[in-house]
Each structure stands twice: as C-alpha cells, then as structure tokens.
Structure 1
Amino acid sequence: MEDGTKFAPPLPHSQIYHALVRAGTRIRPLQQVHARMVVSGVHCIRSLFTKLITLAGASTASNSGHYIRCLLHSAPNPDGFLFNTLIRVSSKSDRVSSADSIFFYRQMWSEGIQPSSYTFTAVLKACGDHSALRLGRLLHSQAVVNELDEDCYVQTALVAFYSKCGDVGIARMVFDRMREKSIVAWNSIISGYEQNGLADESVELFFEMNKMDSAPKADSATLVSLLSACSQLGRSDLGDWIRDYMSAKGIEPDAILGTSLINMYSRCSHVRKAREVFDNLKQRNVISWTAMISGYGMHGHGDEAMTLFHEMNSEGIRIRPNHVTFVAILSACGHAGLVNEGRRIFASMKQDHKVIPKMEHHVCMVDMLGRAGFLDEAIEFIKEHIPAGSAGPEVWTAMVGACKLHKNFKLGVEAAERLMCVEPNNPGHYVLLSNLYALAGMTDDVETVRNKMVRRRLKKQVGYSMIEIDEVGHVFRMGDRSHSQTRELYRCLDELMLKTCSAVSD
C-alpha cells in the first residue's frame, strides 16, 4: 500500500485475534493485547485495529471513551474506514459519549478525508442527541456539497436530527423531498411531531401513511409514538382504535408497546383498561410494572399500587424495582395518604433494595408528608436528608403547596422565598409567592412581588385543562373564550358559584 499500512485480514489461527476475542469488552485486557500488537508489529493491520476499537467501544467501563481517543492518536495513517468505525462505535455506545462522534468527525475533516453517507448518518445522530443545531446545519450543508443530501439514509438522519432539535418545519421539508420513505423516516417525523407537542399533526400523518398503498406498514415504533400522542390529546377512543388495529394486524404487544398502552390508558383515566393490558402482557419488565403502579398512583388508588408493588417483589416474580419504580410508589402513597407505608418504603430503598434515594424521591417524601399535614416533619426531612443549599425547586414547590393546602401561610412564605432564591427567573414562583402574601394579608409585599415581575419582564405561562366527552377532547385555557359553548359554560359556572355562596352563608 502507498502509506505502508497493512490491510491483510487476521488469519483464523492468529494468536492476537484470539487474544482480542478472549479479552472481550474489558478495557484492561484489551490494553494488554494492544501492547502485544505494538510489540509484535501487527498494530498496523487495520482489521485487527478495527476489532480492538469495536470491542473497546462496547465496553461498559467508565474510561472506555478516553481509551478510544487514545487509540485514534496511536493509529497509523487513519483512513475513512477507521474514522467511520470510531464515529459508529461512539454514537452507539452507552459509556462513550456521543459527543465523541462529533470530535472524531472534526478530526476526520481536519485530515482532509471525505465523509460518506455512513459518516453523516452517525454524526447527525450525535448532533440530535446533544441538540447541536448549529453543527447539524453545517453537516446538512456539507452533505449538499458532497451530493449526499438525496441519499435516503442521510435524509432520514436529517429528519430525526431536526425533530430532536425542535425544528419540525425543516424536518417536514426534508421528509417531503424524500423519494423513498422508509418506515424509519415515517417514524422519525411522526415521533418528531409528538415529541414537540404537535400531537394532532402526528396523528394526522399516521392516518395519511395508513391510507397510502405505497407507504410502509406501521410497526411497533410507529404505534408507540402514536399512543404517546393519544396521551397528550386525552384521546382514549383513538387508543382503543390502535388496540383494535394491533389485533387486526396480528401485532402482539411486547413490553415496550404494552407499556405505552398502559401509560395511555392511565393518563386518559381508564385505569381498568390499563390493568387489562397489563394482565394480558406476555412480556413484563420493570418498566411495565412501574407504569401500572404509576397509573394507580396518579388516580389515588394507593392500595392497589401497594399490592402490585409487593407482588412485583414476590418470590414468583422477583423483578427488582429501580429508582423510577420508587418514585411511582412513593407518589402513590402521597396521593392516597398512606404515610406510614411511604415511610417504610423509603427506608427499604437503601436497606433492602440497594437503591440510593435521589432528589426526586426526596420530593415525593416532602410532598407526601406535606399533603398529610406533617409540615414540621417535612421541614425536618429536608434538613436531614438533603445537604444544605442543594434542595431543588421541586422540593420547595411541594413544600409551598402543602403549606397553602393546610393554611400555614407563615411557613409557606418562608418556603416560597427559598424557592425564589433557587429559581429567581421563574415567573410561576413570583405568582405563588404573591398569592401566599395575599392569603397571609401582607398586601404591601404582594405589590412588591408584582412590581418585580414587571421590572424583570416575567410573564407566567397560561395553564390549561382538558376533558374528553363522547370521544371529543375539549381544551380550556385561562381567560380563553374560543370554545363554541363558552356562554353556556360561563352561565353554568356562575350558577355553581351562586349555589356555593348560598351554601356557605347558610
């Protein structure tokens, strides 16, 4: 070869090759084999070197990313194939940061090596994972220059990249230009709409795909995105249709698809249907169990959530709960007022399950104790379990909500002021503190907080609620009068308020 690099494949009986296979994904043994390669002079054989990189990339060791970077610097005359291998390995590895894919691409570019469609798809994935919109746009322009923007794999990667970065408009433009749309491309744009809060567009595009004879058939990934869109819209009727569609097409729900169905029905307040799906699942993992526990918890069915949690830990099943499971069960205890059970579960996390409590578990405990009126215990819990100054806004928001519920405005104001220190630019906190000052009769402070909001140009996002009646979703926003039955609704509300006032005066 011109650069002196040897490309001869390793022979089946090669000692080095077998040593690499024996080392597997363990970094220390791989480093030892690498040293033997250098000493014996076979480190220039590209196939051996590529095998070494692939195994290192699959390693779960924390130092695997650093080692792969060192391998690049020690590579003799790296070419496009080697860079593509490095980019692919780093974009798929759990331990190697996908940011390394971007680093390797820049190194490849500085070496003057032309990227291929394979290169662009891997690096665009990394850009999407890191929301690197500027770099991704640069890659898009480079793909155009290299006449690879019409490649179906690059186009699919671009659709996924722009969707992850929140630019669904450009993602749709790229999608519409595709001559051949694979199921991966359809899934990318459908999930892109759903993940960016455009659930209606996601559903509409699915039905468009379903009507086209030339379009691919929906797979599990398509239905997972669609079910998530149903959850956003509160459309359990559409969820029922998807379930019937799966049955008609012979699509057996696996753990992932089954969990999506459970989540959808739970969020649409159909807990019985969620349990029916759960009971019929042939494959259940910790995520499906957690989803069902969470479904019970969000609707106040604490006893059912506890029963399921204990069943999960029973001898016949023995699925180990993870930190998300504990968030779900602690939240269920909080909503159902099962304080003693919640205390026991929190204590068992570290003792019995070796799960270290995180901030979200602390929030659940503060919320549970606060809801039940144990405000002093909630404050003591914060002092005892959360290092001073590190309590997040979620902790103080839960505390403020509990103080407001139990009309302890003095403690509520203290918690709200701490919340303001943690997140000074969140307009919702100003409104919360202002309301507490008003309830406590501190009118001067109300004015001070409102003036601060005006000076800092902070505006609270308008909240909304949703209800489904006769398979039609109705959305209501604060101060919104766009609903077709606005007059009737406000008339009914006025009547209810009059009745409430009369009952109070009586």
Structure 2
Amino acid sequence: MPVRSIVAWNSMISGYEQNGYGKNAITLFKKMREAGIEPDSTTLVSLSSACAQLGALGMGCWVHEYIARHGLNLNVVLGTSLINMYTRCGDVGRAREVFDSMNERNVVAWTAMISGYGMNGFAHQAVELFDEMRRRGPCPNSITFVAALSACAHAGLVKEGRRVFASMREEYHLMPGVEHHVCLVDMLGRAGLLDEAYSFINEEVPKEPAAAIWTAMLGACKMHKNLDLGVQVAEQLLNVEPENPGHYVMLSNIYALAGRMDRVEMVRNIMIKKSLKKQVGYSTIEIDNKTYFFSMGDKSHPETNEIYRYLDELMSRCREAGYAAVPESVLHELEEEEREFALRYHSEKLAIAFGLLKIRHEAPIRIIKNLRMCEDCHWAIKYISVVGNREIIVRDKLRFHHFKDGSCSCQDYW
C-alpha cells in the first residue's frame, strides 16, 4: 500500500495481537511511529493487549503514560485493557489505580480486576471485590464467576468458593458451564477433597464431562499422590482426548511418583507409537522494552557463556543455602547427576540469571513461562530470591508466582 492510514495500521496491529503475535504487533507499532503516524485509542488498546501477552511491562507503562500525556479519554475499553495489561504483567497495584480512576466501569472492567487479583495470588481481595460488585456494581456474568471461582481454587478458599458457586443459580439464575465445573473440581482437588471432587464430576456435571474437568481432577491426583484414583481419571481423560500428549506426561509423572517405573516406560512407549511429543517450554523477559526468549539449554543468546557461568554460580550458592534438586521434575531414567544438570538449565532459570545480570538491583525480575512451572524451578527460585536478594515474579500457564525472601505468593499451591 503506497499510503497507509491509521485504520490500516490498526488493522494489522490488531490482527497480530489477536492471533497471538504480540511481538510482531509491537514491532509494527514502532514502524508506524517511525512513519510519522501517531496512535489513537484503538491502537493503544491493541498495543496494551500485546504487552499483556508478552509481559512487557515497560512498553505497557509507556502506553499508560502516552494516554495521560496526550489527555486521551480513559474510556471503559481503554481502561480495561490497561487493567488487563498490568495484572498480566504482575503489577496489581497499578491495575487497581487504573480501576479506581475510571469514571465508568462495566462488568468487563470489574471482571478484569477480580481476575487480576486471583491470578496474582490475592484471592481474598478478589473475593472482596466480587462481593463489592454484587452490592453496588453491575450484575456479575458467567465470566465474572469463573474469575472469582478460579481465585478461590488457587488459594484453597473452599468455603468462599462453595458460596460463590451456589450464588450463581440461587441469586443470579445462571447455569454453571464447563469453566465453572473445572474451577470447582480444581478447588476441591487442590484442597485434598479428592473423593468429593470425583463425586461432583459423576453426580453434578451434566452429560459427558469435558477433558478440562478430568485434567483438573488428574492434576489433583498428582498433587496428592493418589495413584489408584489418578489411573482411573487418566483412563477417562484419554477416552475423551486420546491424542493430547500432556495427558500422557501427567499420567507418567503419577506413575513415577509412585515408583512404578515399568508403567512410566509403558506410557512413554505409547507416546512414541502415537508420535506424540511434549510441548516445548520457553520463558521470556523484558529488558529496556525489548523481549528476550529462552528455551531449556538454550545457547542462542550472544551472552550465553556469561549467563551460564552466572547461573552455575547462583545454583551453587543456592545449594549452600539448602537447595536440593527435585528429581521428579525431569526424565526418570536419567542418573541423579544427569537429572540435576538437566534441571539447572530450564528456561526460567536462564531468563532469571539474565535478568539478574542486566536489571538494576532495586527492580523485580519478571518472567513469562508458556507452560506450568515444574516443582524444581519453583523450589529453586525461592532460594534464588534469597541469595540474589531480589523479588522475582513468574507468570506460568496457570497463575502468577511472586517470590520474595524465600517464599512464594502461591504458598506452594499451584
């Protein structure tokens, strides 16, 4: 196109963002500004959503500052996009500031803030805001209930979760869907109420339970090392989704925790026969408005040698402080020394080492992980937060983890 209007630029930026190409959206936005085109509110909504995808807090703050500097109207759409960006970047405080400053707040804005509290481990604040919404805000919708129930599930607030779930039908005449059933099973399962969770699936869930419901149940069986029930649940899950490699990996982990290495080998052979491969994990970190990608054992970064040296030193200091590798987090046929070596270079550890080398000491380290963080990385990062004297925030597939002084906001419950 010889001439590109703001509408054309916005269409491309939005297209990238909506299809999961946040980095491309930000790159195109920078080219738009180089071409002398200033963003409008539509551009900024797409840009803040791209920042949320990548955990690019620096660029997200720039968007917020641009809005204030140019006196743009913080309407409900733009305000909600900022709330979503800040919460998905782990900065709940600034998200709440935006929420409180909005003149108009619809159900989407309230839901975004409730969800943001929940995913960052502030479950009590999520429930309090949900109750405030019921008193003086718009009526919650089904998505609001997912946000509130998810917050209860991740924090083990069983009593509050039961109350929220019951109010759906009793007060708002909303029929629970798959997402609500997943949250309730997840909540009961995480709390160790496995029999109740299993009974709920068989007695309360209408029709054939969706794969997501069985996945939540299987995760609870793994967490509480219930092999017998886990195998039953896995059979149900594999009947629904027989080609999902993640289900086989979880079943293999359950067998491994129970010491059934013959079964681990059996599951692995099934995966090989079906040509199923585990999803590749990666982590990202933003430094000076630039996003860096790391994968396990990654050596593509120009400063690889320095990163690996520093990480080795860091893990040595962690071991002196009491850290020991969690061998269940890696392939079980490896020897103990090989397991520790494989665990050391997981993508989030590499990203954290790079961040500690590059980010000023008073600033937290913020990492985005595309998969659930393994037990070893969670254990190790607690120690890194102590020996590195730094707050570390990790957003994995399930939630946020705020590590500080050897503790995590999830209370080892994720």
Q: How would you bin the TM-score normalised by the shorter chain?
A: 0.7 to 0.9
Offset of residue 489 of structure 1:
1.6
Shift of the 290–183 alpha-carbon distance from structure 1 to 2, 3 Å rule, reads same
Whether the 8 Å contact between 1:339 and 1:372 is mirrored in structure 2 is: yes
Which residue identity does 2:225 align to in structure 1? K
Whether the 8 Å contact between 1:203 and 1:226 is mirrored in structure 2 is: yes
Report the identity percentage.
Answer: 56
Deviations 1:216-267 (A, max 9, x none): 4322221111111111221111111111111122211111111110011001
CA distance, structure 1, for counterparts of residue 143 and residue 38 of structure 2: 33
The reply to whether residue 446 of structure 1 matches residue 269 of structure 2 is: no
In the alignment, what sits opposite 2:19?
196
CA distance, structure 2, for counterparts of residue 259 and residue 411 of structure 1: 42
Normalized per residue, the structure richer in helix is 1
Offset of residue 471 of structure 1:
6.3
Q: Report 1:369-408 matches (<5 A).
A: 369-387=188-206, 390-408=208-226
SS in 2 for 1:313: helix
In the alignment, what sits opposite 1:186?
9
> Whose radius of gyration is greater, 1 or 2?
1
CA distance, structure 2, for counterparts of residue 498 and residue 425 of structure 1: 43
Deviations 1:75-100 (A, max 9, x none): xxxxxxxxxxxxxxxxxxxxxxxxxx
Which residue identity does 1:400 align to in structure 2? L
Normalized per residue, the structure richer in strand is 2
Shift of the 502–189 alpha-carbon distance from structure 1 to 2, 3 Å rule, reads closer
Shift of the 199–490 alpha-carbon distance from structure 1 to 2, 3 Å rule, reads farther
CA distance, structure 2, for counterparts of residue 457 and residue 324 of structure 1: 36
In the alignment, what sits opposite 2:67?
246
SS in 1 for 2:150: helix
Deviations 1:187-241 (A, max 9, x none): 111122223333222112112212323xx43222211111111112211111111
In the alignment, what sits opposite 2:387?
none
Which portions of structure 1, spanning 4 or more consecutive aligned residues, are displaced by more than 4 angstroms? 467-474, 501-504
> Could you state the TM-score of these two structures normalised by the residue count of structure 1?
0.60
Which residue identity does 1:211 align to in structure 2? E
CA distance, structure 1, for counterparts of residue 32 and residue 324 of structure 2: 56
> Could you state the TM-score of these two structures normalised by the residue count of structure 2?
0.73
In the alignment, what sits opposite 1:493?
315
Which residue identity does 2:117 align to in structure 1? Y
CA distance, structure 2, for counterparts of residue 278 and residue 327 of structure 1: 20
5+ long unaligned stretches in structure 2:
327-414
5+ long unaligned stretches in structure 1:
1-177
Deviations 1:255-310 (A, max 9, x none): 11111100110011100000000000111100000000000000111111111111
In the alignment, what sits opposite 1:309?
130
Whether the 8 Å contact between 1:410 and 1:440 is mirrored in structure 2 is: no
CA distance, structure 2, for counterparts of residue 347 and residue 356 of structure 1: 10
CA distance, structure 2, for counterparts of residue 263 and residue 225 of structure 1: 12
2:295 to 477, 485, 500: 477
In the alignment, what sits opposite 1:127?
none
Shift of the 479–411 alpha-carbon distance from structure 1 to 2, 3 Å rule, reads farther
Whether the 8 Å contact between 1:416 and 1:429 is mirrored in structure 2 is: yes
Structure 1 range deviating more: 195-204 or 390-399? 195-204
SS in 1 for 2:283: strand
CA distance, structure 1, for counterparts of residue 256 and residue 316 of structure 2: 24
Shift of the 491–302 alpha-carbon distance from structure 1 to 2, 3 Å rule, reads same
Which residue identity does 1:428 align to in structure 2? G
Which residue identity does 1:321 align to in structure 2? P
Whether the 8 Å contact between 2:75 and 2:104 is mirrored in structure 1 is: yes
Which residue identity does 2:48 align to in structure 1? L
Q: Report 1:14-93 matches (<5 A).
A: none
Tell me the C-alpha RMSD between the 2 structures: 2.1
Offset of residue 474 of structure 1:
4.8
1:274 to 80, 91, 95: 95
In the alignment, what sits opposite 2:377?
none
